[in-house]
A = this chain, B = another copy of it.
Amino acid sequence: MADRDSKGAVRTITDLARLAGVSPGTVSRALAGKSLVNAKTREKIEGLAREHGFRPNQMASGLRRQKTGVIGVVIPLGHDTRQQISDTFFMTLLGFLADELTSEGYDLMLRRVVPGTDPDWLDRFIGSGMIDGAIVIGQSDQYDRIEDVADGYGPLVVWGNHTEGQRHCVVGTDNRLGGRMAAERLIAAGARRIAFLGDTTAIEFAARFAGAQDVAQRMGADIIALPTHLSPERAGEEIAAHLAAHAGVIDGIFAATDTLAALALTTLRERGVAVPDAIKLVGFDDLPIARQTVPPLTTIRQDIAAGARGLVDLLLRRLAGETTESLILPPELIVRETA
């Protein structure tokens, strides 16, 4: 139907106007569904448009209207360059974001940046003129830079951790509370010497650790942080080394992520350590994998779908000129069999 072959391909609104015997302006109005165009002309134009498979050029439209209908989504790869972008959690969030944005009529432009090599990443993206607003997935170690930019640019929402008095609008789980819940569970299950697996230079993880510390201190338990990268390749070895080094002394593990928890679980099995009998284990996220490990993971659930909805909702409101508060989602303890 869309005649790619016939002599005069209809590429522009002007072509279509000539065909319909009207002016480009009228075609534009007809296609945009404005009320100021006669019903019959509109029908004719729409018919021709359909017949020739015509689609208005979004670049031109964007330029003229000074809005693009595109939302930028950035994943800053702060510490763990290689991993993050295929991290299950972020990817799932991205999937939900795509759904939400699509159903609001926006397109999604995905950009992966390495802040180390490009300190200007956020300004560059925002200033490109290609996007109406931006969502940053994960603060990584770029908290300060985001703060800087947020002052001068409205339509920006960030997934991550909320800190007292911060200026950028964030959506995220209450990580500190989540950390508390994890530690409480571990201690209730009998653990007294707890290890935290994760990279505490990432602000979200630091908050989870801090929460666990709160509780440990209050309940008279020990807790130490064992720095662990996120990417399975590196994490595997690191966890093995940690567990070997602390064999026998640890009786509880709080993993910053279900992925790490699952890794710890297999490592423990290899070492012949019984979970939860010898060591209790709690993860974080409640990814699908949490249900599939043996035994299934006790974990702290983040509501990813709600997070995506919140991000998009807040961004749209900011796009409309509102000023919005951050949105902190409650974590939820999911008790399965590892603690």
Contacts and interface: CB of A to CB of B under 8 A. Distances in A.
B289 A57 contact: no
Interface string A143-175: 000000001100000000000000000000000
Dominant SS at the A interface?
helix
Interface stretch (A26-34, A58-66, A321-329): A58-66
A172 to B, nearest CB: 19
A241 interface: no
Interface residues of A, number: 52
A150 B129 CA distance: 31
Interface in A36-64: 53-60, 62-63
26 contacts: A2-B152, A53-B123, A53-B127, A54-B127, A56-B129, A58-B129, A59-B59, A59-B129, A59-B130, A60-B63, A63-B63, A70-B109, A85-B95, A85-B98, A85-B99, A86-B96, A88-B88, A88-B91, A91-B95, A107-B109, A108-B110, A262-B292, A263-B292, A266-B292, A292-B292, A294-B294
Q: Which 5 A-B pairs have the closest CB atoms?
A: A57-B129, A55-B127, A4-B152, A86-B95, A91-B91
